[in-house]
Structure 1
Amino acid sequence: MKKFQLGEFEEIVLLTVGVLYDEAYGVAIKEEIEKRLQRKVSVGALQSALRRMEKKGYLDSRQGEPNAKRGGKPKRFFKITAHGKRALEHSKDVRLQLWDAIPEVALDLKFV
């Protein structure tokens, strides 16, 4: 189902938004991905992915309250939509089907 296809980074971002739930805003998402995956995330790539997934209907966003600490600028919080949940379920199902299709002998390997 092409309409639910997610790229790897989109899937990671969407999953991280779910993990953070009510605290899913740009910096928190970036830090959570970097902590969990030991992988650097550029702010530009993250913002681009968030906007793209919001446009696809996988995410909704809302502005928080203005914050003096941020120069009066409010945070933008993200949450997964029903469409986003379906995209994640589709991605998970496809991966599990692929894992289940691998013959045991193909993974009967030993580390040297």
Structure 2
Amino acid sequence: MSNRETIGLLEEMILLIVLKNQEINGAEVSREYQEAFRKNISLPAIIAVLKRLEKKGLLTSHVGEPKKERGGRRKRLYEATLQGYEVVAEIQKFRNESWKNIPYFDI
């Protein structure tokens, strides 16, 4: 990868979920993560990763409109930035190039 901020696998997976949804809150990220990877992860852990990605400039967030079903409370909504998209695209490109050097086995 280039001189950009590096991210770990959990950060990458969460960033991909945000990219897929364009705008999503932490609870929805947690639900999608658990469905996709069949692993439990706490909402506070998801929120910590979302905040870390935002601090790195890979996500932005804003507070959404109040929802009647939430008693008038608002949700923080996350969106990927162009830099976030570029980072995961670069990771994918690196992986594809790396796999070209791996011999395949007939299993």
Residue 72 of structure 2 aligns to a residue whose secondary structure is coil
TM-superposed deviation, 1:69: 2.5
Structure holding more helix per residue: 1
Q: How large is the RMSD of aligned CA atoms in angstroms?
A: 1.4
**Residues 1-112 of structure 1 mapped to structure 2, 5 A cutoff:** 1-22=2-23, 24-104=24-104, 108-110=105-107
Q: For the residues of structure 1 that align with 2:29 and 2:72, how far apart are their CA atoms?
A: 21
Taking every aligned residue pair, what percent have the same amino acid on both sides?
30
Q: For the residues of structure 2 that align with 1:102 and 1:83, how far apart are their CA atoms?
A: 29
Tell me the TM-score normalized by structure 2.
0.89
Deviations 1:55-102 (A, max 9, x none): 110001111111232232201111110110111111111111211110
Q: Which runs of 5+ in 1 are unaligned?
A: none
Aligned partner letter, 2:48: S
Alignment size in residue pairs: 106
After the TM superposition, list the runs of 4 or more consecutive aligned residues in structure 1 that deviate by more than 4 angstroms. Answer: none
Q: Which runs of 5+ in 2 are unaligned?
A: none
- In our comparison, the structure showing a higher alpha carbon Rg is 1
